Structure 1
């Protein structure tokens, strides 16, 4: 073999090796980021005393990856005060319900009889239908309970929700359900005027439509996509837990029974993939359903802090749902507008996170 042939062979080998190395590097660069194995503390030596405590995977407030002011506790409270505990059963409220009292002529009805007389479905069209009784012992209104006794009853239907206002057809169905319930117990319902209540429903719906807010920030990968495991790991460090739906995580409220403070959603197809490690997620959405969460839980501040924290550790960019980058001053302006919305809801006895607001904005 001549020197020229040897030189060409060597050059070809080097070129081929370079191409293979470049392809390998490029493939690794395009591969979704995988969760990093958590570092575990070393096992104590035999006889070594172990101090009591609870290990946490959450970043601390001193972690340089977090924006100042980020509170890592899932249920942390602001200086405004504690978040009210949820009511087990939101009571009928004249502000957002049509209520028909049911006269019993001095009789007392058992909870067992009231439960047996309830309609098969608790909805009128798209609106919740409810019955309450006044407990003889506590004198409190409550959903009928077996073994209890009631000296007064009332039936109600919600005036509006996110599907729209109560209409004439739904009102007529409400009257039929309430009348059937009352007849089964020998009671006499007194219904308010239909036209007045339907007009009230439209007014309430108009207010709700102009004061509803569901905020969403999109986090987009700058260079490298994420695997579902990587997303779960980073979100879990900030207090998120897996939701019931694939591709959804939630930041739970401190009090059980309350709606989650924040939501996190990514493509469910990636979560359901047969090979999730190779599933590429290029964006995720962080959301806040404003009327569902009490302002004392700092929901917007936590949405902002979570977005910045994830953007830092996941090498992502915060944008709106159209893909336009959201700068810090733009996000702060949204927070200022939101404070005014909270004040308006408070002034109308529909404070965000209250049972009335959670029902109206649902």
Structure 2
């Protein structure tokens, strides 16, 4: 062979070796990081399949309305036990299962003159809760607004949804003035009148309806305020290099206090009080969570979100959201961005925090403090 042929053969071999090495690198880069890779960090893979992290939505209206985008973008005292040296053991990770679901929501809040149209239903004599429940309309909604009937309990003197075996001497019906679907309008108010009148006729009560024009105007004013003070914050955590498996994400999130909820691909950070809405939610591709072998599913991003109006200010939800995002990014080699993929700087996060304080003040001034029963109903 001539010198030229030898040179070409060598170059060809080098090119081929480079292509093979590149393909191997790409393949390795795209393989999702799993729990098994973290054995050196003291966490082993669970013995069985990891349950898909899921989200328990305890807010009255659920998620996904999206009407308003955020403006911000050994026990103590025990004697020590001496044991012979043993082989080091790797602690077993605790799988996140549906047994970790968030506590059930609190009892449904009653009618409130701040956010409801309330109509007294006068009774000539007491009526049983059984009769009231039998007369309830087929649906508890008027248009897009919740409709409710309450009786004044003889046991505790409070308004409540009628119950079997109880008796009531006073009733009231109501419909919500506004929610994320908009303000109560003339048609919905008329439907409320028809529904409340039919119920009153069935139980022998006389309704006293308020003026429609005044209530519709009040609904519009409340809706205007709500539209300007609704905030739903979202961060996106994107993988820098290697993708993640659902189990890998779940284990890291569980270390920060997140638990499983009720839908595939969702986890929540529970509030400090039973029945309170989740402080934060974490979501990723539900199809990956439900895959036959989730550990082979590749995730390149996940979403961290906060329903600002649903979580009490005292929980410091934005501070905890920021800390969780930073901790997950550092632990999983990711970067925190906005929905458009722009990295969120410290300065940008500080501005969002400052804007939130103003929002909380405005809500407090209207007796609609974030996390209150009224705020959760209005912003739903």
Give me the TM-score of the superposition, normalised by structure 1: 0.81
1:24 matched residue in structure 2: 24
Tell me by how many angstroms 1:280 deviates.
Answer: 2.2
1:32 and 1:280 in contact (8 A); partners too: yes
Tell whether 2:352 aligns with 1:348. no
Q: Provide the C-alpha distance between the structure 2 equivalents of 1:182 and 1:56, rounded to a whole number of angstroms.
A: 61
2:112 matched residue in structure 1: 93
Q: Provide the C-alpha distance between the structure 1 equivalents of 2:359 and 2:18, rounded to a whole number of angstroms.
A: 60
2:106 and 2:276 in contact (8 A); partners too: no
Tell me by how many angstroms 1:5 deviates.
Answer: 11
Tell whether 2:297 aligns with 1:293. no
2:321 matched residue in structure 1: 303
Q: Provide the C-alpha distance between the structure 2 equivalents of 1:259 and 1:56, rounded to a whole number of angstroms.
A: 30
Q: Secondary structure at the match of 2:302?
A: strand
Q: Write out per-residue CA displacement over residues 273-326 of structure 1, whole angstroms, 9 at most, x where no aligned residue.
A: 344333222211110001111111111111000010011011111111111111
One of 142, 158, 161 as aligned partner of 1:124 = 142
2:174 matched residue in structure 1: 156
Tell me by how many angstroms 1:121 deviates.
Answer: 1.0
Q: Secondary structure at the match of 1:341?
A: helix
Q: Provide the C-alpha distance between the structure 2 equivalents of 1:218 and 1:254, rounded to a whole number of angstroms.
A: 25
Q: Secondary structure at the match of 1:154?
A: strand
The correspondence of residues 44-123 of structure 1 with structure 2, limited to 5 A, is 87-105=106-124, 107-123=125-141
1:104 and 1:151 in contact (8 A); partners too: yes
One of 190, 194, 200 as aligned partner of 2:208 = 190
1:324 matched residue in structure 2: 342
1:224 matched residue in structure 2: 242
Give the gaps of 5 or more residues in structure 1. Answer: 50-54, 59-74, 76-84
Q: Provide the C-alpha distance between the structure 2 equivalents of 1:211 and 1:6, rounded to a whole number of angstroms.
A: 74
1:86 and 1:355 in contact (8 A); partners too: no
Tell whether 2:296 aligns with 1:278. yes
1:33 matched residue in structure 2: 33
Change (3 A) 1:324 1:12: closer
One of 155, 158, 161 as aligned partner of 1:140 = 158
Q: Provide the C-alpha distance between the structure 1 equivalents of 2:167 and 2:82, rounded to a whole number of angstroms.
A: 62
RMSD: 3.0
2:48 matched residue in structure 1: none
Give me the TM-score of the superposition, normalised by structure 2: 0.78
Q: Write out per-residue CA displacement over residues 192-251 of structure 1, whole angstroms, 9 at most, x where no aligned residue.
A: 011111111111111000000000111111122222221112111111123322222211
Tell me by how many angstroms 1:268 deviates.
Answer: 2.3
One of 182, 192, 195 as aligned partner of 1:174 = 192
One of 250, 253, 269 as aligned partner of 1:235 = 253
Change (3 A) 1:188 1:327: same
Q: Secondary structure at the match of 2:367?
A: coil
The correspondence of residues 2-21 of structure 1 with structure 2, limited to 5 A, is 20-21=20-21
Q: Secondary structure at the match of 1:95?
A: coil
Give the gaps of 5 or more residues in structure 2. Answer: 45-73, 75-80, 85-90, 95-101
Q: Provide the C-alpha distance between the structure 2 equivalents of 1:360 and 1:315, rounded to a whole number of angstroms.
A: 39
Tell me by how many angstroms 1:168 deviates.
Answer: 1.2
Tell me by how many angstroms 1:271 deviates.
Answer: 2.2
Tell me by how many angstroms 1:87 deviates.
Answer: 4.8
